[in-house]
Amino acid sequence: MSEYLQHAKSVVADYHRRLDETLASVPDQRSAAGDDIAAALASSITGDHLWRGMHPFYEQHGAHAVADVFWGPLRAAMAPLQRRVDVLLAGDNDADGGATTWVCSMGHFLGLFDSPWLDIPPTRRALPLRYVEFSRVDGDRIGESALFLDLIAVMRHAGHYPLPPTTGQPGVYLGPRTADGVLAEPQDPDESAATLELAWRMAGDLDEANRVAREQGSDRMPRDVLARCWHEDMLWIGPDGIGSSYTIDRYQQQHSYPFRFGLADKEFHGHVARIAEGCYAAWFGWANVTNRPRGGYLGLPSSGPAEMRVVDVYRREGDKLADNWVFIDLLHWLSQQGLRPLERMRRLVGIEEF
């Protein structure tokens, strides 16, 4: 199986190479049309490829749709684009009993934000666009993918941050402390299994705490529950809008308690992909969880149930987790509550039609 995981990573690396060559070019007219991008995608993906993107992109099918809706407009706004990868891992999907194989790539795209994107005004400065991408590899092609970005960070860079101040620190997007996240060589399967078991056990602790909270009417999670699976100097790297937290105590104060106190009726819905390789693990859902804002979380009022599409990427160090990179499709979550930050921004910058 390690040979197939290496093959899966080579398929994704080839896809990156072909796509990135087109993204690094600057279109003559900076047009949103991307026939060359569609051709690059078509050379790497299956004919019935399913692409999942964050709000406002959502699900697309086939190379031309993905190029027209996402990659073409992005390149038109930020060319030339380069990809900087911090983490790359592959694994058989624990969420479907190993029936599929997925590759996770995480890092940044770097571009010159010279033209509007989603009507976000350009800064004419270098923009690091944080991303994580999951790719399901079928033979020599990619049959399904999901791409998460930190769009609220782009709005913040452009001076249109749409939310009240964060509880964590925005802008802290560090790669692995050990600088070993790109797993080019085969990894010990026992190490991979240990990483996935630890991450899944940590998630189980959270589920148990949610159950106890419902029964006892308290959202307090004892510190020692977190310390079972996390290093004392853990780094939780959250999306803009929430921010990042360093150490168990600050994570508890700046993310765990606001999340637990501010959101009720949490219900887990499973993952599309859940993989591990070596000391790294990653998973995502569509959607992972639903919850009900009680009022106060992210400075927002109470609301009805809303779903969260979440990515977690973990690094294990020894017998505990040290790093956790988190992406949440917050714009989608907000849209279910009748809140549309992109539309509000368009009104503020004087764009009448949206």
Q: What is the pLDDT of residues 120-155, one digit of tens each?
A: 999 999 999 999 999 999 999 999 999 999 999 999
| Average pLDDT of the chain to the nearest whole number | 93
Q: Are residues 150 and 8 in the same domain?
A: yes
Q: Whole-model pTM? A: 0.94
Q: Are residues 265 and 314 in the same domain?
A: yes
Cross-sheet strand order for the sheet of 280-284 = 245-246, 230-237, 320-328, 310-317, 280-284, 273-277
User: What residue has token string 């368009």?
Assistant: 346
pLDDT score recorded for residue 2: 82
pLDDT exceeds cutoff 90 at 109? yes
pLDDT exceeds cutoff 90 at 179? yes
Q: Are residues 128 and 18 in the same domain?
A: yes
pLDDT score recorded for residue 207: 77
Residue at 200 is within a domain: yes
Q: What is the Cα–Cα distance from 6 to 129, expressed in whole angstroms?
A: 27
- 156: tokens are 């913040």
Give residue 33's domain range: 2-157
pLDDT digits (tens, 9 = 90+) for 160-169: 999 998 889 9
Q: Are residues 18 and 122 in the same domain?
A: yes
Question: Percent of the chain having pLDDT more than 70?
Answer: 94
pLDDT digits (tens, 9 = 90+) for 223-263: 888 999 999 999 999 999 999 999 999 999 999 889 988 99
**What phi and psi values does residue 131 have, to the nearest 5 degrees?**
-145, 160
φ/ψ region of 17 (left if φ > 0, alpha if ψ in -120 to 50, else beta) reads alpha
Q: Are residues 146 and 204 in the same domain?
A: no
Residue at 324 is within a domain: yes
> How many structural domains does the chain have?
2
Residue at 349 is within a domain: no
CATH of the domain at 135: 3.10.450.50
pLDDT band at 214 (very low <50, low <70, confident <90, very high): low
Contact 145/134 with Cβ under 8 angstroms?
Answer: yes
* Least confident range of 41-45, 175-179, 343-347: 343-347
